[in-house]
């Protein structure tokens, strides 16, 4: 509109609209009168330039003169022959209320727009009209009539055409920050965005996108659904932390994933009647500084029973599942038996096994007592493995991404376990006696089997063993988490058999039992000495708690331990006394629980611990960046509560030989801390079918799949893996 108007109060909106229309009719003559007032011609006030070098996307750029502005809502784009335009992508404007037009958005200085398009076969030019309108905002204040420019631009060689059988809306999804890409032609979408999916169990899927360097997918443009799966839905994905904040010219600040995206998704509903499900994944992706692809859709058929993986295919294709977990039940049970046996030698179990050693020595008087002790211990171990494994499976089916040892990610459980270990230490030190005295010998020992104590020792052995992953256990647990529930529980039971087997062998094989020393009063001294590993275990759990919830949590735990010691001391003194003493004991127990309640309310640590010198914190984006730069990477997934992890760090990963090997091979040491819950690390563990930490993966120079190392490391093994990755 070419009209001259004074900025007056909008008290008569109808009159204002009439004046607006009159101004449009009189605009040519009025505007001619304003040339002496230095009002610029419309094409000089708003200089439009175009860029059609990116296939499928037209870029428009306006340079807006000083004291002029454009209306966002007055921009219109009309396609010419053979051209189909998508929705124009415009940035938000400055919002204000115009006296005549009401709420508007305007642009000053400059503005960029992007329009996705497709062309009909045989079309050689991009023909369209661009209409826009703006105003001069200082005296003399005028607004131009709508101005239209006709564009006739040569098309780039690879302009997209609508694919047969694909909806027009999908073909027009051309969004992103598209610059010139003259260095190389964009890859076909099947090569640029490789998609696969894995059914970890009946309720958990792991989706995986693999992209070359500079390619990425948008987080908020990934759409997932199950096809023909009545009663089943997908939960909100657990987005990993490796997303990058990306400034998109049209969408503003968005989250994108470069290189590699492992996305856990839970299935909600009863899957009992579904052996297979078909997942449809739609997503948008771009090459950084280059072309953006139309909406891509891949289907993957997943076997919920076997945990098979499927490569993503186009909607019209089919998929052939191929499972990464090919272990049979028999192999998994043998691995579990071996893992349980080796677990007896792991440092996490040794403090509690001292209790069992005392029990066996006490039972050495007769074979019957030895067998009774061993059987009670075995029942405690088996029941605990069954409860622990069953609990993990139930929670995983409810949508929780749990694995072996993840219960120690809960600070309250860590604190309670510290209290139990501390109480056992007090018992071994003689402060309190639970049940029959372990120090009695002779005829008294023959009459007291201590079955309840042996059962509890088995329970405690499993609880403290949970932070450890022994050799052979990884494969067995990976099978258990992907297998049907009945097979999984058999694997957990076999782990228990392996853990209890040495004590069963001593009890039932006389030749082994003859090696046991004779019981005597010296056992009381041994028991008191073995209390100190218990206290050290409680101190270690306090350190874990400090890393999870800070110094306040440790302070509350120390108060709890003092109150617990007081309650146990009074419990021992009040044996055989009246009701009042028992009520006081109950009150002290309640007071002991109060600090634990306060501890459970503490928030997680807000400030992440500073990375160790020479290490890089794990992120999928950083890993993709290093791999794209042909850098070997040693990835270490660890946790403060993982004793095996700490043993490997002390013996291998903190040593000069390991760091010298990193420098020699030009490798990067990347560390992921799973002490607290972290969806990105959980996704990485699930991608490698690891039931928990530790997990060590060496990624070679020049690409290729990472090599997974054993859970127990040696310096020679790690050096050899780094040397192979660097060549």
Q: Where are the domains of the chain?
A: 39-154, 182-314, 329-409+434-531, 615-725
- Model-level pTM? 0.48
> What is the CATH architecture assignment of 39-154?
Sandwich (2.60)
pLDDT at 327 over 60: no
Q: Which tens digit of pLDDT belongs to each residue from 526-558?
A: 778 878 888 888 898 899 899 889 899 999 999
Least confident of 124-128, 172-176, 240-244, 652-656: 172-176
pLDDT at 356 over 60: yes
pLDDT at 231 over 80: yes
226 versus 358: the higher-pLDDT residue is: 226
Q: Which of the given ranges, 229-233, 383-387, 419-423, 718-722, has the highest pLDDT on average?
A: 718-722
Q: Which tens digit of pLDDT belongs to each residue from 23-58?
A: 444 444 334 333 445 788 888 899 999 988 888 889
348 versus 242: the higher-pLDDT residue is: 242
* pLDDT for position 486: 84
Residue 635 vs residues 257, 323, 616, 617: alpha-carbon distances, Å: 19, 24, 9, 10
Mean pLDDT of the chain: 77
**Band of pLDDT at residue 162, cut at 50, 70 and 90:** very low
Please give the Cα distance from 135 to 142 (Å, whole number): 6
Please give the Cα distance from 128 to 80 (Å, whole number): 5
Least confident of 158-162, 327-331, 341-345: 158-162
Rounded average pLDDT over 474-481: 72
pLDDT at 562 over 50: yes
The two tokens of residue 448 are: 């007291």
350 versus 95: the higher-pLDDT residue is: 95
b (16+ CB within 10 A) / e for 487-496: ebbbbbbbbb
Q: Which tens digit of pLDDT belongs to each residue from 94-132?
A: 888 776 677 889 999 889 999 988 887 777 788 899 999
Please give the Cα distance from 150 to 131 (Å, whole number): 9
* pLDDT for position 200: 73
Please give the Cα distance from 134 to 142 (Å, whole number): 9
* pLDDT for position 458: 84
Contact indicator for 466, 643 with CB cutoff of 8 Å: no
In this chain, the answer to whether the domains covering 39-154 and 615-725 adopt an identical fold is no
pLDDT at 180 over 50: no
- Quick one: which of 272, 646, 307, 725 has its CA closest to 468? 646
Strands 633-638 and 668-673: parallel
360 versus 131: the higher-pLDDT residue is: 131
- Quick one: which of 126, 417, 163 has its CA closest to 294? 163
**Band of pLDDT at residue 365, cut at 50, 70 and 90:** low
Correct CATH for 615-725 of 1.10.20.10, 2.40.110.10, 3.40.30.10, 3.40.47.10: 3.40.30.10
Rounded average pLDDT over 411-435: 83
**Band of pLDDT at residue 308, cut at 50, 70 and 90:** very low
Contacting residues for 423 by C-beta, under 8 A, at least 6 apart: 432, 564, 568
* pLDDT for position 558: 94
Please give the Cα distance from 351 to 339 (Å, whole number): 19
Q: Which CATH class is domain 182-314?
A: mainly beta
* pLDDT for position 425: 85
pLDDT at 315 over 60: no
């Amino acid at each position: 509109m070419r009209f001259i108007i004074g900025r007056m109060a909008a008290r008569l909106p109808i009159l204002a609209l009439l004046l607006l229309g009159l101004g449009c009719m009189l605009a040519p003559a009025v505007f001619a009168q304003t040339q002496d007032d230095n009002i610029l011609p419309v094409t000089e006030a708003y200089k439009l330039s175009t860029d059609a070098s990116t296939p499928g996307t037209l870029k428009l750029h306006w340079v807006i003169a000083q004291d002029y502005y454009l209306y966002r809502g007055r921009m219109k784009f009309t396609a010419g022959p053979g051209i189909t335009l998508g929705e124009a992508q415009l940035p938000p404007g400055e919002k204000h209320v115009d006296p005549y037009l009401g709420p508007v958005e305007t642009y000053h200085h400059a503005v960029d727009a992007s329009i996705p398009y497709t062309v009909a076969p045989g079309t050689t030019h991009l023909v369209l009209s661009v209409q826009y309108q703006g105003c001069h905002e200082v005296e003399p204040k005028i607004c131009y009539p709508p101005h239209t420019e006709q564009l006739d631009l040569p098309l780039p060689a690879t302009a997209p055409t609508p694919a047969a059988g694909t909806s027009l809306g999908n073909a027009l999804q051309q969004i992103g920050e598209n610059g010139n890409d003259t260095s190389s032609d964009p890859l076909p979408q099947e090569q640029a965005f490789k998609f696969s999916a894995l059914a970890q169990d009946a309720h958990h899927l792991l989706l995986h996108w693999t992209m070359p360097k500079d390619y990425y997918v948008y987080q908020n443009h990934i759409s997932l659904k199950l096809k023909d799966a009545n009663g089943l839905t997908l939960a909100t994905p657990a987005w990993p932390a490796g997303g990058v904040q990306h400034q998109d010219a049209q969408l503003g600040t968005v989250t994108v994933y470069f290189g590699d995206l492992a996305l856990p998704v839970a299935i909600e509903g009863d899957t009992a009647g579904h052996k297979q499900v078909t997942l449809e994944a739609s997503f948008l992706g771009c090459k950084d500084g280059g072309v953006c692809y139309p909406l891509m859709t891949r289907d993957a058929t997943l076997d919920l029973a076997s945990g098979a993986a499927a490569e993503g295919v186009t909607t019209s294709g089919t998929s052939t599942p191929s499972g990464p977990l090919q272990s049979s039940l028999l192999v998994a049970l043998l691995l579990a038996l071996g893992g349980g046996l080796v677990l007896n030698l792991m440092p996490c179990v040794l403090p509690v096994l001292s209790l069992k050693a005392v029990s066996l020595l006490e039972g050495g008087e007769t074979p019957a007592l030895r067998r009774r002790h061993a059987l009670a211990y075995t029942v405690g171990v088996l029941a605990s493995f069954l409860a622990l494994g069953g609990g993990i499976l139930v929670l995983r089916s409810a949508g929780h991404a749990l694995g072996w040892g993840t219960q120690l990610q809960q600070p309250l459980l860590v604190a309670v376990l510290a209290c139990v270990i501390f109480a056992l230490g007090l018992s071994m030190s003689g402060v309190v006696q639970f049940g029959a005295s372990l120090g009695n010998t002779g005829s008294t020992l023959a009459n007291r089997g201590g079955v309840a104590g042996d059962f509890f020792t088995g329970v405690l052995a499993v609880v403290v063993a949970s932070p450890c992953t022994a050799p052979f256990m990884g494969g067995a647990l990976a099978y258990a988490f992907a297998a049907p529930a009945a097979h999984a529980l058999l694997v957990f039971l076999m782990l228990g058999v392996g853990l209890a087997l040495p004590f069963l062998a001593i009890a039932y094989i006389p030749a082994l039992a003859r090696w046991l020393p004779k019981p005597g009063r010296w056992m009381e001294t041994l028991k008191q000495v073995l209390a100190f590993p218990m206290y050290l275990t409680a101190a270690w759990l306090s350190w874990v708690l400090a890393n999870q919830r800070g110094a306040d949590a440790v302070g509350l735990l120390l108060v709890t331990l003092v109150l617990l010691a007081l309650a146990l001391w009074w419990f021992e003194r009040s044996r055989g006394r009246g009701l009042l003493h028992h009520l006081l004991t109950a009150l002290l127990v309640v007071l002991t629980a109060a600090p634990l309640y306060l501890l459970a309310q503490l928030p997680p640590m807000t400030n992440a611990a500073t990375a160790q010198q020479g290490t890089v914190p794990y992120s999928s984006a950083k890993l993709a960046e290093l791999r794209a730069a042909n850098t070997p990477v040693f990835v270490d997934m660890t946790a403060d509560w993982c004793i095996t992890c700490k043993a490997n760090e002390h013996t291998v990963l903190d040593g000069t030989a390991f760091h010298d090997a990193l420098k020699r091979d030009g490798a990067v040491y990347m560390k992921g801390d799973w002490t607290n819950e972290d969806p990105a690390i959980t996704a990485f563990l699930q991608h490698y079918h690891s039931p928990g930490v530790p997990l060590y993966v060496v990624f070679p120079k020049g690409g290729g799949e990472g090599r997974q190392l054993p859970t127990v490391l040696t310096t020679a093994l790690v050096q050899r893996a780094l040397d192979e990755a660097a060549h």
